[in-house]
Chain A
C-alpha cells in the first residue's frame, strides 16, 4: 500500500469520525457493550471461540501466540484448530466493538453535537454528570459480564488514581520521587486500621469497636483518614525536598519507601509481615468509580490552578520562580501533600478490593510499575496518566499467557516510547473539561 493510500484512508476516517464529540463516543461504547451483552455468547460460539473474548480479544490472541511458542520451543502438544481463534477474535472485536462504536458515533454525531452545545451553556456539572453517567453505565455493563473484567477494571481504575497522583510530583513538579508506594502503604494500612479496627472482629486488631448496620457509610471517612495519614507521612519527604533536588531527592524518597516498608514489617500490632486480612467488602465498582472520578477532577483543578502553575515554574527553574515571587517551599509542600493524599486514598481502595494487605506489596516492584505508568503515559498530563495506567494495566493483563515474554514486550514498548516520545505518549496536554465535553465541528465546516 502506498503512502497516498494511507493518507486517503486516514483522511476518510478523519472525515467520517472527526466530528464526533465525546458524548457520541460514549454512546457508541454503551451501544457496543449492550450488543455484546445481548449477542456476545452466541456470536462467540458461531465464531468457534470457546468463550466470549474477555479483554477485546487481545487475551485470546496472546493465548494462541503462547501456545505456538510452547509448541515450537518446548515441544508442547499443539492443536492447530486454535489458530482459528486469531481471526475469530479479530472478527469479534470488529463486529461487537469497532463497527457499532463507529456506526453509533457517526449516526449520532449531529444529535450529540447539538446536545453537547446545549449542555455547554449550563453549569459544568450538568454535562459532567451526563458524561460520567453514560461512562459508568457502559463500564458497569461491560464489567457485569464477567467477574474477571470487574476485578481488572477495579484495579485499573485504582492504578489511574495512583499514576495521576505521582504525576503531580514527577510530572508537574519535575522531581523524581520514589516514595509513592510508601504513601500508598500508609493509606492502605491506616484505612484498614480504621475499617477493620472499628467495624470487624479481627485476631490482630481485636473486636469490632462499633456495631451499626450502616457502617459502610464510613468507607469515605476511612479513605480520607488513610489519605490524610499518607499526607502527614509525606512531610518526611517534603521537608528535605526544600534543600535537595534531582538524584538526591530520589535517594531520600527511596529511603523513605524502605523505612515505611520496614516500619510495617516490624509493627506487630498491625500484623507485621503477615499483614492485615478481612477488610470489609465495601469497595464496589460505583464507589471506586466515584472516588477515582473525584480524584481526577480535583487533581485536574489543582494542576490547572495557580498552585499547579507554580509547580511548573519550580520545575523549569527554581531560582527564577523564587525571583518571580513563587513561594517555592509552599509549592513543593502542597505538591507532596496532595500527591500523597490521593496515593493514600488509592492504597485504601486497593486494600478493600483485595481485602488483604502486607508490607511486601508496597515494595520496589510496585514503584517500578507506577513509574512505568507515569512515564509511558506522559508527564505533566492528566490524559497521559489515564492512558499510561490503562494501557499498562490492560496490556499486563492481556499478555499474561505469554509469561516471561510479557516482561520483554512491555519494557521494550517502554523503551520505544522513551526513544520516540521521550516525555511519554500524551505529555504536556492540558485537560480542559469544557473542551473535552464540548461539541466537535465536522472538518471542512465552520463553527
Chain B
C-alpha cells in the first residue's frame, strides 16, 4: 500500500516537472496542412509539403504584436478522399488546435473540408481548389488561385487575339471536375466572341482513357484553328501525340493544370511551341518569384509546380494576416476570428503568383499569365492578363 502511494507521488512529481514544457507551448503558432500525402495524387501533397518546409526553414519564427512566435506546421494525410479530408480537418482543428489551415488542395476534398472549417470558425485557404462551392457562403474559407470563370475567357481571348483563331475545338475529361468546368467556360467565352457554333468540336473522354484517335478524327475534320485542352500534365502528352498522329498541325492551348508535375519529361519535343494559361511563369521570372524558384529547385531538384507556388503564397498571405491582427490573445477561438478578419482585409498582397486581394466571397482577384513552351522546353512568360 505504501509502495503504491509512493509511486503515485513520484508520478505526480514527474508530471509537474515535465508539464511546464507543455504549458510553454503558447509561444507557438500551429498551422495545419490537410494534404494528400498518400492516395491517388501524392505528388500534390509532396509539392505542398515541400513549399511549406521551405517556408519554415526560411522563416522559422513570426513576430505578432511585438512578440515572437515559433511556427509549427502539422501535416495531416487526407488520402485524396473526402471522408478522410473531413476527419483530418476536424482533427487539426479540435485536437491539434491549429490557428489556421492551408489546404486541402483538390476540390473533392476542399468542398467538404471547407464546411468543417467554417463551422468551427477556423480560417482556411485552399491554394488550388477551383470549385465555387469551396468558398461559397463560407466567410472563413478562402482560396489561393483564380477561378475558372476567369481563366476560360483568358484562354478564349488569347487564342482569338494572338493566334487569330476563328473556330476552336475542345477536348476534355468529362469525369473530372476541373477540366469539365474549364472547358465549358472556354466554350462560353469563345462563342461570345465569335458567335454560336464557333466551337466546332466539343469532344470528351473519361479519366484513364489512353486512346484519343476517335476524338482527334472529329477535331481534324471540323477544321478548327486551335485546340483547347484543359487536362492534367499526365494526359497532355498522350493528347498532343494523338493530335500529331492524326494530322492536326494547328496550335494547342492548355490551362494551369499543364504546369504541374513533370510535363516536359513526359512530353519531350512534342509539346514545344504550345501555350497555356497559368498562375506564374518559371522561365524569365523576376524578383521574389525567381528567388522562390531558385531556392525550390536547389532544395528539391525540380522546378516548383503551381501547387507549390500557390501553397507558398497562401501560406504567405495567411502569415501576413496573422501579423496584421496586431497581437494574439492566446484564446484560440478569438484569435481564429481575428485572423479571418485580417485575411479578408488584406489588399494587394505581393505574392509570387501575382498580387492578391480577396473578394467578399473569399476568392482572390489576381492576374493570369500565358506562357509559351519555348524551344528549350522551358515555360516562358508570354503575356499577363488581369481582370
Q: Are B131 and A274 in contact (CB under 8 A)?
A: yes
Q: Are A404 and B37 in contact (CB under 8 A)?
A: yes
* Least distance between A48 CB and chain B CB atoms (Å): 4
Q: A297 within 8 Å of B by Cβ?
A: no
Question: What total of A-B pairs shows CB separation below 8 Å?
Answer: 113
Q: Are A273 and B82 in contact (CB under 8 A)?
A: no
State in angstroms the CA–CA spacing of A50 and B23 once bound together: 9
Give residues in A with beta carbon < 8 Å to B. Answer: 45-51, 54, 81, 84, 146-148, 150-152, 155, 261-262, 265-266, 272-275, 277-278, 350, 353-361, 365, 397, 400, 403-404, 406-407
Interface residues of B in 80-96 (CB under 8 A from A): 81-83, 86-88, 90-91, 93-95
Given the known interface contacts A274-B133, A356-B112, the answer about A46 and B176 at a Cβ–Cβ threshold of 8 Å is no
State in angstroms the CA–CA spacing of A350 and B97 once bound together: 26
State in angstroms the CA–CA spacing of A406 and B21 once bound together: 30
State in angstroms the CA–CA spacing of A267 and B177 once bound together: 13
Interface residues of B in 141-190 (CB under 8 A from A): 174-177, 180-181
Given the known interface contacts A46-B11, A404-B38, the answer about A397 and B87 at a Cβ–Cβ threshold of 8 Å is yes
Q: Are A403 and B77 in contact (CB under 8 A)?
A: yes
Q: B305 within 8 Å of A by Cβ?
A: no
Q: B19 within 8 Å of A by Cβ?
A: yes
State in angstroms the CA–CA spacing of A147 and B76 once bound together: 16
The residue from B87, B95, B177 contacting A358, defined by CB atoms under 8 A apart: B177
List 7 additional A-B contacts (Cβ < 8 Å) besides A272-B174, A358-B177, A403-B38.
A45-B15, A46-B12, A50-B22, A148-B90, A266-B174, A350-B83, A365-B39
Residues on A with C-beta less than 8 A from B39 are: 365
Q: Are B82 and A81 in contact (CB under 8 A)?
A: no
State in angstroms the CA–CA spacing of A363 and B112 once bound together: 18
Q: B221 within 8 Å of A by Cβ?
A: no
Residues on B with C-beta less than 8 A from A84 are: 18
Residues on B with C-beta less than 8 A from A404 are: 37-38
B16 (CB) vs chain A CBs: closest residue: A46
The residue from A48, A146, A361 contacting B108, defined by CB atoms under 8 A apart: A361
Q: Are A354 and B112 in contact (CB under 8 A)?
A: yes
* Least distance between A36 CB and chain B CB atoms (Å): 15
Given the known interface contacts A355-B115, A406-B38, the answer about A155 and B177 at a Cβ–Cβ threshold of 8 Å is no
B20 (CB) vs chain A CBs: closest residue: A48
Residues on B with C-beta less than 8 A from A397 are: 87
Q: B359 within 8 Å of A by Cβ?
A: no
Given the known interface contacts A146-B94, A147-B90, A274-B131, the answer about A45 and B22 at a Cβ–Cβ threshold of 8 Å is yes
A400 (CB) vs chain B CBs: closest residue: B77
- Name the prevailing secondary structure of the A interface residues: helix
Q: B26 within 8 Å of A by Cβ?
A: no
Interface residues of B in 326-344 (CB under 8 A from A): none
Residues on B with C-beta less than 8 A from A54 are: 91, 95
* Least distance between B71 CB and chain A CB atoms (Å): 13
Q: B297 within 8 Å of A by Cβ?
A: no
State in angstroms the CA–CA spacing of A54 and B97 once bound together: 13
* Least distance between B201 CB and chain A CB atoms (Å): 18
Residues on B with C-beta less than 8 A from A403 are: 37-38, 77
Q: Are A147 and B112 in contact (CB under 8 A)?
A: no
State in angstroms the CA–CA spacing of A148 and B177 once bound together: 28
State in angstroms the CA–CA spacing of A84 and B76 once bound together: 22
State in angstroms the CA–CA spacing of A81 and B181 once bound together: 50
State in angstroms the CA–CA spacing of A256 and B21 once bound together: 57
Number of B residues with CB within 8 Å of any CB on chain A: 43
A48 (CB) vs chain B CBs: closest residue: B18
State in angstroms the CA–CA spacing of A273 and B14 once bound together: 55
Q: Are B87 and A356 in contact (CB under 8 A)?
A: no
* Least distance between A3 CB and chain B CB atoms (Å): 30
Q: Are A273 and B112 in contact (CB under 8 A)?
A: no
A91 (CB) vs chain B CBs: closest residue: B11
Between-chain CB contacts (< 8 Å), 28 pairs: A45-B19, A46-B19, A48-B14, A48-B19, A146-B95, A147-B93, A152-B87, A155-B83, A261-B175, A265-B206, A272-B174, A273-B177, A273-B180, A274-B131, A274-B177, A274-B181, A277-B111, A277-B115, A354-B82, A356-B82, A358-B177, A359-B175, A361-B81, A361-B108, A365-B81, A400-B88, A403-B38, A406-B77
State in angstroms the CA–CA spacing of A47 and B15 once bound together: 5
Q: Which 7 A-B pairs have the closest CB atoms?
A: A46-B15, A48-B18, A356-B112, A265-B175, A277-B133, A273-B177, A147-B94
State in angstroms the CA–CA spacing of A76 and B384 once bound together: 40
Q: Are B90 and A81 in contact (CB under 8 A)?
A: no
Residues on A with C-beta less than 8 A from B77 are: 400, 403, 406
State in angstroms the CA–CA spacing of A404 and B115 once bound together: 27
Given the known interface contacts A148-B90, A403-B38, A404-B38, the answer about A265 and B174 at a Cβ–Cβ threshold of 8 Å is yes
Q: Are A354 and B175 in contact (CB under 8 A)?
A: no
State in angstroms the CA–CA spacing of A146 and B18 once bound together: 25
A359 (CB) vs chain B CBs: closest residue: B175
Q: Are A355 and B112 in contact (CB under 8 A)?
A: yes
B176 (CB) vs chain A CBs: closest residue: A273
Residues on B with C-beta less than 8 A from A358 are: 82, 108, 177
B14 (CB) vs chain A CBs: closest residue: A48
Q: Are A148 and B95 in contact (CB under 8 A)?
A: yes
Q: Are A48 and B111 in contact (CB under 8 A)?
A: no
Kindly supply a per-residue 1/0 record for chain B positions 123-144, scoring 1 wherever the CB is within 8 Å of any chain A CB and 0 otherwise.
Answer: 0000000010100000000000
Residues on B with C-beta less than 8 A from A406 are: 38, 77
Q: B25 within 8 Å of A by Cβ?
A: yes
Residue from A262, A272, A400 having most chain B Cβ neighbours under 10 A: A400
Kindly supply a per-residue 1/0 record for chain B positions 36-66, scoring 1 wherever the CB is within 8 Å of any chain A CB and 0 otherwise.
Answer: 0111100000000000000000000000000
A49 (CB) vs chain B CBs: closest residue: B22
Residues on A with C-beta less than 8 A from B108 are: 275, 358, 360-361
State in angstroms the CA–CA spacing of A96 and B28 once bound together: 29
Q: Are B115 and A151 in contact (CB under 8 A)?
A: no
State in angstroms the CA–CA spacing of A87 and B334 once bound together: 35
State in angstroms the CA–CA spacing of A51 and B97 once bound together: 10
State in angstroms the CA–CA spacing of A147 and B96 once bound together: 12
Given the known interface contacts A81-B18, A84-B18, A361-B108, the answer about A51 and B95 at a Cβ–Cβ threshold of 8 Å is yes
A261 (CB) vs chain B CBs: closest residue: B175
Given the known interface contacts A354-B112, A355-B112, A404-B38, the answer about A262 and B12 at a Cβ–Cβ threshold of 8 Å is no
Q: B120 within 8 Å of A by Cβ?
A: yes
The residue from B38, B94, B176 contacting A407, defined by CB atoms under 8 A apart: B38
A51 (CB) vs chain B CBs: closest residue: B95
State in angstroms the CA–CA spacing of A353 and B181 once bound together: 26
Q: Are B175 and A151 in contact (CB under 8 A)?
A: no
State in angstroms the CA–CA spacing of A262 and B205 once bound together: 11
State in angstroms the CA–CA spacing of A351 and B95 once bound together: 24
Given the known interface contacts A272-B180, A361-B81, the answer about A151 and B87 at a Cβ–Cβ threshold of 8 Å is yes
* Least distance between B194 CB and chain A CB atoms (Å): 24
The residue from A151, A261, A350, A400 contacting B90, defined by CB atoms under 8 A apart: A151
State in angstroms the CA–CA spacing of A371 and B40 once bound together: 19
B8 (CB) vs chain A CBs: closest residue: A46
State in angstroms the CA–CA spacing of A356 and B77 once bound together: 19
Given the known interface contacts A148-B90, A355-B115, the answer about A48 and B15 at a Cβ–Cβ threshold of 8 Å is yes
State in angstroms the CA–CA spacing of A87 and B37 once bound together: 28
Residues on B with C-beta less than 8 A from A148 are: 87, 90-91, 94-95
Residue from A54, A150, A155, A265 having most chain B Cβ neighbours under 10 A: A265
Residues on B with C-beta less than 8 A from A261 are: 175
Residues on A with C-beta less than 8 A from B93 are: 147
A365 (CB) vs chain B CBs: closest residue: B81
State in angstroms the CA–CA spacing of A109 and B95 once bound together: 36
Kindly supply a per-residue 1/0 record for chain B positions 96-133, scoring 1 wherever the CB is within 8 Å of any chain A CB and 0 otherwise.
Answer: 01000000000110011001000010000000000101
